[in-house]
Amino acid sequence: MEIVLKGIWHSYDNQIMVLKRIDLEFKEPGIYVVLGPNGAGKTTLMKITSLILRPLQGVVLVEGVDFWGLDKEKKEEIRKSIVYVHDKPILLRGSVRDNISIGMKIRGKIDEDLIDHYIKRYSLAEVQKRSVHRLSAGQAKAISIIRALVLKPQVLVLDEPFVFLDDSRARILVEDIVDIVNCGGKVLIATHYVHKELRNEINYVIELVSGEIKSVVKIH
């Protein structure tokens, strides 16, 4: 699914512009890293690209169509292909397993085997029946990411995915991200630093500073 941002501006208070004249294309499958310091506008840009936040100005084209001009039903249909994972893990009341299956439940089909696969892969078997209040930050982050992975989205958007993850989970996540790209998908990662596990897998680096694109570099 191609996403193109054209002339995007955004402000939360109609005064200070946090994104300025952003033009970006997410056409080819690949790993796109949006790199920039705190406050650069990465999260805002990720939410706009994930079709969650409507920009103040500019056009978001999905497969060439102006997304925000579509009716509610078409918007919901397109949104199923894009999953955004917040920087701070947002978990709902219930067990670890309940949380992982939420997205699948909403879509009408829970694949228990796939959930088992990811629970083992991210070393969460011991805590899977535990209430989410009794987890480490790294475990909570892994759960919020798995909840997205089990949906096998065409476009996966990860906001600061490596912040709480240990190196072994980070390595596994990079493998899973590469798998999505090998299946023709796109993975967007907003981060303030490039994790060593990710370094060799990046296809594009988009540098964002003070709400402006400083550079877009194609790595390979």
Ligand X SMILES: Nc1ncnc2c1ncn2[C@@H]1O[C@H](COP(=O)(O)OP(=O)(O)O)[C@@H](O)[C@H]1O
Contacting residues toward ligand X, per CB under 6 A: 12, 18, 36, 38-44
Q: Is the CB of 43 or the CB of 101 nearer to ligand X?
A: 43
Select the binding partner of residue 119 from Mg ion, ligand X, none (C-beta < 5 to 8 A, by kind): none
CB of 190 to Mg ion, least distance (A): 6
Select the binding partner of residue 41 from ligand X, Mg ion, none (C-beta < 5 to 8 A, by kind): ligand X
Select the binding partner of residue 31 from Mg ion, ligand X, none (C-beta < 5 to 8 A, by kind): none
Instruction: From residue 83, give the alpha-carbon distance in Å to each of 127, 153, 163, 185, 210.
Output: 25, 6, 19, 12, 25
Select the binding partner of residue 153 from ligand X, Mg ion, none (C-beta < 5 to 8 A, by kind): none
Select the binding partner of residue 94 from ligand X, Mg ion, none (C-beta < 5 to 8 A, by kind): none
Question: What is the C-alpha separation between 195 and 163, in angstroms, rounded?
Answer: 9
40-59 residues near Mg ion, rule: CB under 5 A: 42-43
CB of 44 to ligand X, least distance (A): 3
Question: What is the C-alpha separation between 177 and 186, in angstroms, rounded?
Answer: 9
Q: Is the CB of 79 or the CB of 192 nearer to ligand X?
A: 192
137-149 and 96-106 are packed helices; what angle lies between their axes, rounded to 10 degrees?
A: 20
Task: Provide the strand spans (E) within the chain.
Answer: 3-11, 17-26, 30-35, 57-62, 65-66, 82-85, 155-159, 186-191, 204-209, 212-218
57-62 and 3-11: which strand pairing? antiparallel
Q: How many residues does the chain have?
A: 220
Q: Is the CB of 45 or the CB of 124 nearer to Mg ion?
A: 45
How far the first Cα of the chain sits from its last, in Å, is: 20
Q: Is the CB of 41 or the CB of 58 nearer to ligand X?
A: 41
Among the listed ranges 18-26, 38-46, 76-84, 150-158, the one in contact with Mg ion (CB under 5 A) is: 38-46
Question: What is the C-alpha separation between 73 and 89, in angstroms, rounded?
Answer: 28
Question: What is the C-alpha separation between 21 and 5, in angstroms, rounded?
Answer: 10
CB of 8 to Mg ion, least distance (A): 16
CB of 193 to ligand X, least distance (A): 12
Q: Is the CB of 43 or the CB of 101 nearer to Mg ion?
A: 43
- Residues lying near Mg ion in the complex (CB under 5 A): 42-43
